[in-house]
């Protein structure tokens, strides 16, 4: 049984471990912090319909709607399946409306039009000036409880998962990976920290998200990762039942994701080389509240419960003139063919909700490279409940 070591303990790693266990591999995850403490836990929790990407990033839109439908089935207990609305507030939004409808139709995203009166009957908190609205199959999910079932199921199937364990080296000999050099960050029973050890592996997958560049450098290879942080704001009180999107091209402050008794407002975006130091500029917080209050005025007066940053693991694109133009799709790199380091893969890009699809693509490549003929089974295999994580 080939031993696959996964670097990073985010949603992609959890879904990949689950997929690989089902295909008969031996799997170990290494994460330097708590599981899901990077971008996986920190996004707005929107189960995208894909409409946000349909016009400018149709590949990402198709990934979203397909995974949307799969995850609704696999992890219903992590979701509020209350649908979403795109709302038009000005002439520019109205001009975008037909493009959006056409692009949704082309990418398989179902839509339904509402008059302003109908929209305000659904959501009385919408601004008076709403000119048109369109329903899309958005939903809200609990980021922690969407990812945890994948990890729980993988562990129940025999995967090992090590948090607070930092990868400090990738052992490459004769052009092939042999294993990982690891360091434990937590204190042991003897009062020591930083114990180091080696774990052999037949293949290593770099699934470190925004940190994938730093991990790849351990093996002397490069991946085109571009961390793209953004600020999100959670306000007290639920301003709507449904997810609310601004009917215009992807920009800032164009989404309100209600969840429990909160509403999450997002998102700004900038680019950085350092995903460890994420600033939360107060002017971004103010801007998110102001822009979202154009859609739902109650956002403006609400108490801010939390403001935070998360680093999207973007695939770098020097041609993009705005960060929002960088595709949100994902890709898997085989460093054997790219860099003559066989047995090393990097999975980068993607979104929190495309974790299963990212895992499928990566596991397909691992099967091809190892000559194992095992189809993906994660679309239909039931997942354990999130709480089962605490049984193992």
Partner 1 sequence: MSDAEKTVPESADAAAPESAPERQAPRTLTVRVHRCGPGGANARFDDFRLPVRPEDSVLDVLDRIRVETDPTLVYRHSCHHSSCGTCAMRINGRERLACITRMLALGTDVVTLEPLRALPLLGDLMVDMRPMFAHIGDDWGYVRPVEKASTGVPHGVARYTRLENCIECGACMSACPVSSGTDDMPPPEARRGGHEAPAQAAPGADVADAPQERMFMGPAPLAALNRELARHPEQREALLHIGKGPQGEKHCRRHLACSRACPSGVYPAKDIMDIRMMHGGGKD
For partner 1, the binding residues in 221-250 under the rule CB under 8 A are 229, 232, 234, 241-242
Distance separating alpha carbons of residues 205 and 158, to the nearest angstrom: 18
- Indicate whether 390 belongs to the interface with partner 1 (CB under 8 A): yes
- Indicate whether 308 belongs to the interface with partner 1 (CB under 8 A): yes
Pick the binder of partner 1 from 50, 179, 213, 253 (CB under 8 A).
Answer: 253
Pick the binder of partner 1 from 277, 318, 373, 380 (CB under 8 A).
Answer: 277
Whether 326 and 317 have beta carbons less than 8 Å apart is answered as yes
Nearest-approach distance from CB 337 to partner 1, in angstroms: 32
Reading the block at residue 122, the tokens are 């659904």
- In the region spanning residues 140 to 169, those forming contacts with partner 1, defined by CB under 8 A, are 140, 142-145, 164, 166
Nearer to partner 1, 175 or 194 (CB): 194
Nearest-approach distance from CB 203 to partner 1, in angstroms: 27
Distance separating alpha carbons of residues 119 and 15, to the nearest angstrom: 37
Nearest-approach distance from CB 339 to partner 1, in angstroms: 28
- Indicate whether 79 belongs to the interface with partner 1 (CB under 8 A): yes
Nearest-approach distance from CB 177 to partner 1, in angstroms: 24
Strand 225-236 and strand 79-80: the pairing is: unpaired
- In the region spanning residues 39 to 58, those forming contacts with partner 1, defined by CB under 8 A, are 40-42, 45
Nearer to partner 1, 60 or 257 (CB): 257
- Indicate whether 113 belongs to the interface with partner 1 (CB under 8 A): no
The residue to which tokens 């995903």 are assigned: 275
Q: Which candidate, 263, 252, 262, places its Cα nearest to that of 290?
A: 252
Distance separating alpha carbons of residues 239 and 10, to the nearest angstrom: 30
- In the region spanning residues 202 to 221, those forming contacts with partner 1, defined by CB under 8 A, are none
Nearest-approach distance from CB 375 to partner 1, in angstroms: 28
Nearer to partner 1, 148 or 172 (CB): 148
- In the region spanning residues 315 to 354, those forming contacts with partner 1, defined by CB under 8 A, are 322-324
Nearer to partner 1, 186 or 300 (CB): 186
- Indicate whether 368 belongs to the interface with partner 1 (CB under 8 A): no
Pick the binder of partner 1 from 34, 59, 102, 196 (CB under 8 A).
Answer: 34
Tell me the H-state helices in 48-132: 51-54, 58-74, 91-107, 116-122
Total residue count of the chain as it appears in this document: 392
- The distance from CA 263 to its chain's CA centroid, rounded to whole angstroms, is 19
Q: What is the CA radius of gyration of the chain?
A: 21
Q: Which stretch binds partner 1 (CB under 8 A): 33-41, 57-65, 210-218, 349-357?
A: 33-41
- Indicate whether 386 belongs to the interface with partner 1 (CB under 8 A): yes
Q: Which stretch binds partner 1 (CB under 8 A): 96-104, 169-177, 206-214, 378-386?
A: 378-386
Nearest-approach distance from CB 7 to partner 1, in angstroms: 16
Nearer to partner 1, 157 or 374 (CB): 157
Q: Which candidate, 45, 3, 6, 68, places its Cα nearest to that of 379?
A: 68
Q: Which candidate, 334, 326, 324, 328, places its Cα nearest to that of 368?
A: 334
CA distances from 108 to 78, 113, 168 (A): 24, 16, 44
Distance separating alpha carbons of residues 246 and 193, to the nearest angstrom: 49
DSSP 131-183: -EEEEE--EEE-HHHHHHHHHHHHHHTT-EEESSEEEEEEEEETTEEEEEEEE
Q: What residues have CB less than 8 Å from 72, skipping those under 6 apart?
A: 47, 79, 81, 139
Pick the binder of partner 1 from 95, 105, 106, 186 (CB under 8 A).
Answer: 186
Using DSSP's 3-state secondary structure scheme, residue 333 falls into strand
Residue 240: exposed, middle, or buried by beta-carbon count in 10 A (0-12, 13-18, 19+)? Answer: buried
Nearer to partner 1, 288 or 341 (CB): 288
Nearer to partner 1, 374 or 388 (CB): 388
- Indicate whether 274 belongs to the interface with partner 1 (CB under 8 A): yes
- Indicate whether 123 belongs to the interface with partner 1 (CB under 8 A): yes
Distance separating alpha carbons of residues 294 and 284, to the nearest angstrom: 16
Pick the binder of partner 1 from 187, 196, 368, 382 (CB under 8 A).
Answer: 187
- Indicate whether 194 belongs to the interface with partner 1 (CB under 8 A): yes
């Amino acid at each position: 049984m080939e031993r696959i070591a996964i670097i990073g303990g985010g949603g992609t790693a959890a879904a990949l471990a689950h997929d690989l266990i089902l295909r008969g591999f031996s799997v170990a995850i290494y994460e330097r912090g708590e599981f899901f403490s990077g971008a996986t836990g920190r996004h707005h929790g929107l189960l995208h319909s894909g409409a946000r990407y349909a016009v400018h990033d149709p590949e990402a839109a198709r990934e979203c709607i397909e995974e949307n439908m799969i995850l609704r089935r696999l992890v219903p207990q992590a979701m509020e399946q209350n649908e979403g609305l795109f709302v038009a507030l000005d002439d520019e939004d109205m001009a975008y409306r037909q493009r959006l409808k056409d692009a949704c139709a082309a990418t398989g995203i179902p839509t339904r039009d509402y008059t302003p009166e109908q929209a305000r009957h659904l959501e009385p908190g919408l601004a008076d000036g709403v000119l048109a609205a369109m329903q899309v199959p958005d939903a809200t999910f609990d980021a922690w409880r969407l990812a945890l079932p994948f990890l729980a199921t993988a562990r129940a199937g025999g995967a090992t998962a090590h948090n607070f364990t930092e990868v400090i080296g990738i052992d490459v000999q004769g052009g092939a990976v042999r294993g990982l050099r690891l360091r434990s960050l937590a204190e042991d029973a003897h009062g020591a920290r930083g114990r180091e050890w080696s774990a052999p592996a037949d293949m290593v997958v770099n699934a470190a998200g925004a940190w994938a560049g730093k991990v790849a450098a351990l093996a002397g290879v490069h991946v085109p990762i571009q961390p793209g942080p953004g600020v999100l704001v959670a306000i007290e009180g639920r301003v709507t039942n449904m997810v609310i999107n601004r009917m215009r091209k992807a920009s800032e402050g164009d989404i309100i994701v209600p969840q429990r008794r909160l509403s999450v407002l997002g998102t700004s975006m900038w680019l950085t080389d350092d995903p460890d130091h994420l600033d939360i500029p107060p002017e971004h917080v103010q801007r998110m509240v102001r822009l979202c209050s154009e859609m739902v005025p109650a956002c403006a007066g609400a108490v801010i419960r939390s403001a935070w940053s998360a680093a999207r693991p973007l695939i770098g694109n020097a041609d993009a003139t705005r960060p929002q133009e960088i595709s949100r799709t994902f890709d898997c790199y085989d460093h054997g063919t790219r860099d003559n380091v066989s047995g090393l893969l990097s999975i980068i890009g993607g979104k929190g909700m495309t974790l299963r699809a990212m895992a499928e693509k990566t596991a397909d490549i691992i099967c091809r490279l190892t000559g194992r003929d095992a189809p993906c089974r994660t679309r239909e295999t039931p997942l354990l409940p999130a709480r089962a994580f605490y049984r193992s």
